[in-house]
Amino acid sequence: MAPRADKSARVPQTPAQQGLWLIDHNDPGNVAYNIPEAFLVNRAMDANVLQEAVNRLLMRHEILRTSFHEDDGELFQSIEPEAEAVAGLTDLSALPEEDREKTLRQAIREQARRPFDLRQQPLVRFELYRLSERQHVLFFNIHHIIADRQSLDILLDELIRLYEAVVKNEPADLPAVSLHFADYAVWLAKEMDSAATEKQIRYWKRKLAGAPPFIDLPHSRPYPAKRTSWGATMPVTIPGSLRESLSKIGNAEGASPFMTFLAGFAFLVYLYAGSEDFCIGSPITHRRHVATERMVGLFVNMLAFRCQMTPEQSFREVARKIRNTALEAYDNSDVPFQKIVRAMKPDRRFQRSPIFQVMFGFESRAQNTGSVLQIDTAPGTARYDLTLNLTDHGGEATGTIEYCTDIFEAADIEKLLRGMAILDEAAREPDRPISELVLPD
């Protein structure tokens, strides 16, 4: 990656940012791409100290002082020398204990659903909820256009360390920031004109040729003419026994945990929808340069995994095929998904997400430990028709099914989750044909 860019001219938006800008432009007030995070902090906290830590965090990262604009068809981002994000304090400690959590949940949900104006920085908000003298909830909400999952981990880590530094009245022990996301955006704009990008686009055109434009999942409600971003979630647990069975199959086929769980999800979607050809989308992080490891910004690209199955295939064959599909996708993951969509020229008469409407998110991490524990913000939104988000903790995998409430009733999703029992059967007999497996009612 190149050194600091000349930012005297307009800084281009990255393709991923352009995609989110266009979503917001076409549906102003859409909150599906808000990322609300809440953490239980078992210690005393001073709101004034938190505010100073927030001020320093904003000065440290240009992206937190960035806004987004369009001028005569040109999409660009603008960085301000200063920004102000008021870290509010809501004191709930005087409430009866039985009312405290309910009030907290309602307040967090309301905060999570506050839209951002992408033309106004900062695109991040902070709030401290006091439950008692030594128990607080730290909440922040950030727009996806300036952050990815790793960015959130960086921001939380740095905010805690800045808070401690303010308390001790000493400099924070943080690495210097020499490059910012805008430097990456300028470098990426030049890279996108390369011959390698065109080669990858040709791969995706071949790979996705003839794929159905959408998958018809069983749902109780008619597909709306204009889908909203409102949704709901249900918890999902992959027990340790099933995880171990799936892992054995994956290991035998040279598949990573991500590939193995993706195969399981694709297997379930196939049985649920009855479609033999569909795509599942999944995000991939592009932090390939050392300079980007501690950089806050949006380094995510979406990959489309084409899933093609027949009743004669077994789960082992599905896992093997998904592994090969994933390896090919990784080899061609540099081209922005937005460029692939334009190259495929999808029929815009279908009011659905192009190429895929089902998504799979996966990460491996240990369970929360220590004095800062993440809690569910439950914003009630859905970016896609159906999304399975899983976190592999080693012993078991947990997560949620997120679904669009315009389309699905809770009963539809409950039926899908009951169907996960069939994975046990498939994992026990991985060479058994799919045709011999039947979803439970």
Kindly list the domain boundaries of the chain, sorted by start residue: 11-184, 195-436
Helix (H) or strand (E) holding 36: strand 34-41
Q: What is the pLDDT of residues 211-244, one digit of tens each?
A: 999 998 989 899 998 889 999 999 999 999 999 9
Residue 368 pLDDT greater than 60, yes or no:
no
The pLDDT of residue 337: 94
Measured at the alpha carbon of residue 194, what is the angle toward residues 189 and 200, in degrees to the nearest 5? 105
For the domain bounded by 195-436, which CATH number is listed? Answer: 3.30.559.30
pLDDT reported for residue 59:
97
Above 70 in pLDDT, residue 367? no
Residue 369: its pLDDT value, please?
47
DSSP string, 381-440: B-SSSEEEEEEE-SS-EEEEEEEETTT--HHHHHHHHHTTHHHHHHHHSTTSBGGG----
Percent of the chain with pLDDT over 90: 78
> In whole angstroms, what is the distance from residue 299 CA to residue 188 CA?
11
Confidence of residue 372 (pLDDT cuts 50, 70, 90): confident
State CA 289 to chain mean position distance.
21
Average pLDDT of the residues of the chain = 92
For residue 433 the two structure tokens come to: 């044909």
Sign of the torsion angle spanned by Cα atoms 303, 109, 414, 367:
positive
Torsions phi, psi for 285 (to 5 deg): -90, 130
How many CB atoms sit inside 10 A of residue 190's CB? 11
The answer to whether domain 11-184 has CATH 3.30.300.20 is: no
What does the pLDDT read at residue 426? Answer: 92
Mean pLDDT of 65-79: 95
Helix, strand, coil percentages, rounded to 5, for the chain? 40, 25, 40
The residue ranking higher by pLDDT, 226 or 16, is 16
CA 81 to CA 218: how far, in whole Å?
A: 51
Q: In the prediction, which pLDDT does 336 show?
A: 92
127-136, 283-292, 352-361: range with lowest mean pLDDT: 283-292
Q: What is the pLDDT of residues 317-361, one digit of tens each?
A: 999 999 999 999 999 999 999 999 999 988 766 678 899 999 999
Question: What are the structure tokens assigned to 276, written together?
Answer: 């033999």
By three-state DSSP, how is residue 232 classified?
A: strand
